[in-house]
Structure 1
Amino acid sequence: MAQLLKTVIYVDNVEEVLDFYYQAFGLSTLGLNDSGDYGELDTGEVVLAFAAHPLAQSQFKQNYIRCQPKQPALGFELVLQCDNVTECYDRAVAAGAEPFSPPVTKGEHIQAYVRAIEGTLVALVSVLGTD
């Protein structure tokens, strides 16, 4: 059986994206390598990492699609659990995220969507009674 260890998203500027995720969601940096082309965030059990596009190009030889903020979102999302979705949504937008869908109640959850500065779609969720 396999186990998910980390998610890596390729970006233009790793340090800028790490700072955005701290400002927007309060996620602390675990580390940034000396060349600044790879960094990781503390998200709990699974590491969220960012690497510069040239690393992907050297490994995959252009055999991947760049996520870009000005193009439609790619077919995946990150889901972050928040104590207060409205506050988390407002904080993310203030940090530069594109507002996608404001907080709404969906069954047992409150949910909102933003698009991070590098183009990743981020779902913000909480269980009713905690927001």
Structure 2
Amino acid sequence: MKFGYTIIYVKNVLETVAFYEQAFGLSRRFIHESNLYAEMETGDTALTFAGEEAAELSGLAVAPNRKDNLSAGWEICLVCENVATAYSHAINNGATPLLPPEEKPWNQTVSYVKDLNGCLVEIASPVRK
């Protein structure tokens, strides 16, 4: 077994893709013609977005992610070399600041923002050994 991908259910897939391109510098890999599903270029494991109505079409119920709600009990982590620059760039492009970059005892710089849907995004450096 291996981890294949993460799907985040969102109110608007196209707006979310545009936000991740602008705030985090990710590139879109694929957008379905229905605009209810998209994949971002993130390496071996894809970050994907699906419209909330896609969950309903599958017979699933999901709690909506909203900017003003308490974030759900998960996060995604985007790894980069310059966390301070990436954190500032994300905030300047619509992310909500939560925790500024901080050096951790395990030799990693970590920060947190919320995306336009209220989802937690960790911006972190690789762990240095």
TM-score bracket for the superposition, by shorter chain length: over 0.9
How big is the shift at 1:6? 0.7
Q: When the two structures are superposed, what TM-score results if normalisation uses the length of structure 1?
A: 0.92
CA distance in structure 2 between the partners assigned to 1:92 and 1:110 by the alignment: 16
- 3-state SS, counterpart of residue 60 of structure 1: coil
Q: Structure 2: where are the runs of 5+ without partners?
A: none
Q: In structure 2, what is the equivalent of residue 28 of structure 1? A: 27
CA distance in structure 2 between the partners assigned to 1:34 and 1:85 by the alignment: 34
How big is the shift at 1:54? 0.4
Identical positions, percent: 35
User: When the two structures are aligned, how many residues end up with a matched partner?
Assistant: 127
How big is the shift at 1:84? 0.4
Q: In structure 2, what is the equivalent of residue 45 of structure 1? A: 44
Q: Structure 1: where are the runs of 5+ without partners?
A: none
Residues 91-110 of structure 1 aligned to structure 2 (within 5 Å): 91-107=89-105, 108-110=107-109
Give the letter for the 1:85 counterpart.
V
CA distance in structure 2 between the partners assigned to 1:116 and 1:101 by the alignment: 13
CA distance in structure 1 between the partners assigned to 2:76 and 2:104 by the alignment: 18
CA distance in structure 1 between the partners assigned to 2:23 and 2:33 by the alignment: 24
How big is the shift at 1:61? 4.0
How big is the shift at 1:24? 1.0
Give the letter for the 1:91 counterpart.
H
- Match for 1:87 among 85, 90, 100? 85
Residues 9-20 of structure 1 aligned to structure 2 (within 5 Å): 9-20=8-19
CA distance in structure 2 between the partners assigned to 1:96 and 1:77 by the alignment: 18
- 3-state SS, counterpart of residue 90 of structure 1: helix
